[in-house]
Amino acid sequence: MIRTSKTKALTRVLLAAGAVALVPAAAQAEAPRTDLLNLSASATTEVPRDLLQLRFSTTREGKDATAVQNELKTALDAALAEARKIAKPGQVELQAGNLSVYPRYGNSKTNSGSPQITGWQGSVELLVQGRDMESISRLSGKIQTLAIANVSYGLSREAREKAEGDVVSQAISAYKAKAASYAQQFGYANYRIGEVSVNADQPMLMQAAPRFKAVGMSAGADEALPVEAGKATVTVNVSGNVVMTR
C-alpha cells in the first residue's frame, strides 16, 4: 500500500512536470511568423461597351380596366411586330413584360368606407438589347406606339472574359514583382508563392446613358438614335501570401 501511494504521487509529479514542459512549446507554436507576407496587386484595362439596351414604355388610362389593358396590349403588339423584324439570337434579344393596370382613387368613399375608384391606369414596357447596335438604334425610329424610356450600354460576357484574359497576366506579374521587391527589402533573398486568389471585378451589366434618361423620348420615324457606348473598366485582382526565404 505504501509503495502504491508513492507510485501515484510520483506519477502526479511527472505529469505536472510534463505539463510545464509543454507550455514553452505551445507558446512557440503560436508565435507569429515573420517570414509570411500578405500582399495584393491588380491590373486594369478599358474596353468598348458592346451591348445596347433600349427600354420602351407607354401608359394609358380610362374608366374601364379592360379597355386600358387592351390599349396597352395593342401598343405592345405593334411595337413587337417591328422589333421582331430585327431579332437575331445573340445579336438582338426582345423581352416584353411589366404590363400592369391599377386603379385610381378619388376623395369620395363607397358605402363600405373604402376609397371610390374613379378610373384605371396602366403601363407596359418592351426591352430590346444586344450587340447589333446599328439595328437597335434604327429600331428606335420605327416603333411609334411606345416611347424610349431609357438607354443603357453594357459589356457582353464574351468581351468581358476576353478583357480579363488579356489583363490577368499583368496582374500576376505585378504580384510577383511586389513579392520579390518586398522580400528583398525585408532582408530575404527570395520568396515562395503561398495561397493566392485571382478575382475579376464584375463591371455593371448595363450603364445608363444620362442624356437619355428622361421618360417619354421618341425618335422621329426612321430616325436612328445616336449611339455613343463609351468604355467599361475591367480589373483583375490578385491577393494572397508568399513565404520569404533566405
Which domains does the chain carry?
A: 51-104+115-155+204-228 (3.30.70.360)
pLDDT in tens, 15-35: 444 544 555 555 555 677 788
Residue 222 pLDDT: 58
Q: Are 69 and 99 in contact (CB under 8 A)?
A: yes
pLDDT in tens, 145-174: 999 999 999 999 899 999 999 899 999 999
Residue 5 pLDDT: 52
Q: Phi/psi of residue 58, each to 5°?
A: -155, 160
Residue 128 pLDDT: 96
- The pLDDT mean for the chain works out to 83
Average pLDDT in the 63-90 region?
Answer: 95
Task: Name which of 90-94, 100-104, 211-215, 230-234 the model is least confident about.
Answer: 211-215
The model's confidence at residue 224, banded by pLDDT at 50, 70 and 90, is: confident
Give the rounded percent of residues in the chain with a pLDDT score beyond 90: 63
Residue 36 pLDDT: 92
Query: How many Å apart are CA 139 and CA 150, to the nearest integer?
Result: 14
**How is residue 128 annotated by DSSP?**
E
Residue 8 pLDDT: 53
Query: How many Å apart are CA 145 and CA 81, to the nearest integer?
Result: 11
Give the rounded percent of residues in the chain with a pLDDT score beyond 70: 78
The model's confidence at residue 69, banded by pLDDT at 50, 70 and 90, is: very high
